Structure formats: C-alpha cells, structure tokens
Amino acid sequence: MRILVVEDDDVLRDGLEQGLALDGHTADSVSRCIDAREAAAGFAYDAIVLDIGLPDGSGLDLLREWRREGRITPVLLLTARNMTEDRIEGLDLGADDYLGKPFDLGELGARLRALVRRDGGRAEPRIRVGPLEIDPAMRRVSIERRPIDLSRREFAVLEVLARRPGHIASRSAIEEAIYGWQEEVGSNAVEVHIHKLRAKLGADMIETVRGLGYRMRVSAVL
C-alpha cells in the first residue's frame, strides 16, 4: 500500500516511515498542511496518517477540506492522549480511525490494513484469487497452500494486481503504488518484478495487456 504520512515531529515521522516500510508499504511523508494538500491532490493514496497539530494549520481543517472535496481516502488521525474532543471532532469530520500518541507501530499497521480492507469492501483480511492466497498482515503468499517466497516489491506488485483481479493496472500505476517519491525507479523495474512473479507463481497468473499494462487473469479468479 502507498501511504501518506502528515506529521511534523521529525523523530515520529522517520519512525513511521521506517515502520511502514518494514510492513511492506511505501510511505511518502510531509510535515506541513500545504505539502499534504499537494501530495493528496497528486496521488490516490491507499490511506493517510494525519497529525492534528501542524506548523501551518490543523490536520482537522485539512480533513474537513478533503471530505468537502469528495476525497474518500481512509484517514487515520494521530491525536494527543486525552484529547477526546479532537477525536470526536475528527471522527465527525470524516476520519476513519484514530490512534492516541504514543502508539505502537504494530497497532498502527493493523489499523491501516483494516481501513484499507473496509475501503475495498472486504471484511475478510486475506485476499484470494483462485488458488492464490495473500495475507497482507503476515505478508505471506501461497498457492494451493504452498508458501511462495516473495521480495517486498514483488509482494507489493502482486497486491496491487490481486486487489482488483481482472482490472488492468498500467505500468505507471504499479510504479506509483510501490515506489515513493525519493526512490529511483529503473525504466524496466515493473517488468522485472512481473517476470519474477511469473517465475514464482506460474506464467499464467499475470497477463500482459499490450500497451496498457498488466492484470490478474480472470480465469485465475474462477
């Protein structure tokens, strides 16, 4: 998943970025409202982790703006401990969840997975496409219960495709989903990941749609 982190505390922001990366996500992080606005307008994030007290405004105002504009990205608010009013206001403004500081990174990861799962209309935490099963929490993949060992990027590419089987994901959409701003992306990086995924999962699972991108074969859904 690609996640936007809006947090002005440097230590916390770095910790969040590293923790999310360890969980297999790609995190872009900003510390001001103005940058958060620009980031959210430029990319459809899977989820946003939003601090409230920011140097150039309030995260609650940002949230209000986004919801007014019709932006439906799941938002998890980071609130100060005991700030019940912030939580109530945030939830009423359209936040999907909150965590009080200090929080546990493991809990944050689990809450984000739950948010994205519900956003996709799924209650079941595991993704199943035919014989393929993906467990986003444990980052495990299996085919007919046989475990498959994937790298972080391979897992991320597979997750993008498996969340919407039968739908085409363009190369640039896959790149955007798995690489953050600061990362150098080789011109054939996606092709390389797809090639490795096919070698590990079987050649039939992922189809190339010439000129458009890739998709999980519909036959694999049956």
Residues that bind Ca ion (CB under 5 A): 8, 51, 53
Please, which residue, 57 or 166, has the CB nearer to Ca ion? 57
- Whose Cβ is closer to Ca ion: residue 33's or residue 177's? 33
Token pair of 55, please? 């140097």
Amino acid (one-letter) located at 86 = D
Instruction: Determine whether 131 is exposed, middle or buried from the number of CB atoms within 10 Å of its CB (0-12, 13-18, 19+).
Output: middle
The three-state secondary structure class of 76 is strand
Scanning the structure block, which residue is given the tokens 């990027």? 153
- Cα–Cα distance for residue pair 38/53, rounded to 1 Å: 18
Residue nearest to Ca ion (CB): 53
Tell me the closest approach of the beta carbon of residue 54 to Ca ion, in angstroms. Answer: 6
Nearer to Ca ion, 99 or 173 (CB): 99
Quick count: other Cβ atoms within 10 Å of Cβ 191? 13
Q: Considering the complex, what minimum distance in angstroms separates the CB of residue 53 from Ca ion?
A: 4
| Least separation in angstroms between CB 60 and Ca ion | 12
CB of 36 to Ca ion, least distance (A): 12
Between 53 and 94, CB nearer to Ca ion: 53
